A = this chain, B = another copy of it.
């Protein structure tokens, strides 16, 4: 039972003016209001602790200054910096986040429905690069609602999307190992054979493949194991690799999460990282510097992705129509720590080829 609200009319009455005058003062059209009355209005606002009702404003303005944020896997740590980035640009612009988490296409569609009935002005979708069907997104586009999709498989060039250089980074990571003198290089990948598949997993793996090929190195089938982007998956994949008689001496592990458990598996198998097994990975969460050994990894600019996403949606909003921007692909920076060790054969560094 909410107490009686203080309305604009209460303020008007108190200040001895009309409601529209109060509205003018409060909405910056103050130049059209005389000094005396403006002052009186402001005083009344203060006195009554008046707080404009954003709902009512939304009704007449036909916009809510609210963005729907749909998170497909709320338990992924990556989404924290995304939210932070989104907030970072939305808040100064006076926009708010309405959150909805979904688990699959069905609940995503559901989330869109309810958020739309909430009249959100735009959407940001953050998934883990799952290649879901996108009909409902296209439908959104048809209706003129601006939205952007982060880290998701989207072939349609008319959809605003933000992702990371997965292929390039897979390539660069592998090249890094090669430049250190490694030639027997395996990889623990994300879920590439799942349905729906993960774009990022496929791309990162492709980067590894191409780098190996470009440097004339053998891609041993047994050295390519899926770790499904999970701790347990990475753990088992690493065990599988460690158990082989003919082992790789370096590993491109496609995510930090899997790299952590790879470290454990190697330790348990009696293999030293980086001496027996060099490891390079991707992500750079806060703990990456504090594993034993510290993880050499490529930092994913996740916060920036959130910022960009918010900016694009905001643009679409002010443009008066959904703008389609070039897909944005953010690059990842290499953070060298300990898991790759030193160069194996000093002086014999290979030049990094471009993918």
Residues on A facing B (Cβ under 8 Å): 1-3, 5, 51-56, 58-59, 62-64, 66, 69, 74-75, 77, 79-81, 83-84, 87, 96-101, 113-119, 121, 143-145, 231, 235, 257, 260-261, 263-264, 267, 286-287, 289-292, 294, 320-321
In the bound assembly, the distance between CA atoms of A99 and B320 in angstroms comes to 25
In the complex, the answer to whether A55 meets B118 with C-beta atoms within 8 Å is: yes
Q: How far in angstroms is the closest Cβ of chain B from A340?
A: 17
Chain B residues with Cβ below 8 Å from A51 are 113, 116-117
In the complex, the answer to whether A292 meets B289 with C-beta atoms within 8 Å is: no
Chain B residues with Cβ below 8 Å from A263 are 290, 292
In the complex, the answer to whether B69 meets A99 with C-beta atoms within 8 Å is: yes
Q: Which of B96, B119, B286 contacts A54 (CB 8 A)?
A: B119
* Interface pairs (11), CB distance under 8 Å: A51-B116, A54-B114, A55-B64, A55-B118, A74-B83, A74-B84, A96-B99, A96-B118, A231-B289, A260-B287, A261-B290
Chain B residues with Cβ below 8 Å from A261 are 290
In the complex, the answer to whether A99 meets B101 with C-beta atoms within 8 Å is: no
Q: How far in angstroms is the closest Cβ of chain B from A73?
A: 10
In the complex, the answer to whether A59 meets B62 with C-beta atoms within 8 Å is: no
Other contacts beyond A96-B115, A97-B98, A97-B99: 7, CB < 8 A: A3-B143, A51-B116, A54-B117, A54-B119, A75-B84, A79-B80, A98-B98
In the complex, the answer to whether B58 meets A55 with C-beta atoms within 8 Å is: yes
Q: Which of B99, B145, B235 contacts A83 (CB 8 A)?
A: B99
Q: How far in angstroms is the closest Cβ of chain B from A289?
A: 7
Q: Which of B69, B117, B260 contacts A52 (CB 8 A)?
A: B117
Q: Which of B5, B77, B118, B235 contacts A77 (CB 8 A)?
A: B77
A55, A98, A118, A119 pick with most chain B CB within 10 angstroms? A55
In the bound assembly, the distance between CA atoms of A74 and B286 in angstroms comes to 14
Chain B residues with Cβ below 8 Å from A117 are 51-54
Q: How far in angstroms is the closest Cβ of chain B from A315?
A: 13
Chain B residues with Cβ below 8 Å from A98 are 66, 96-99
In the complex, the answer to whether A287 meets B287 with C-beta atoms within 8 Å is: yes
Q: Given known contacts A80-B77, A101-B84, is B63 in contact with A59 (CB within 8 Å)?
A: no
In the complex, the answer to whether A2 meets B87 with C-beta atoms within 8 Å is: no
Interface pairs A-B: 10 shortest CB-CB? A261-B290, A97-B99, A54-B117, A1-B320, A99-B99, A54-B118, A267-B292, A231-B290, A55-B119, A51-B117
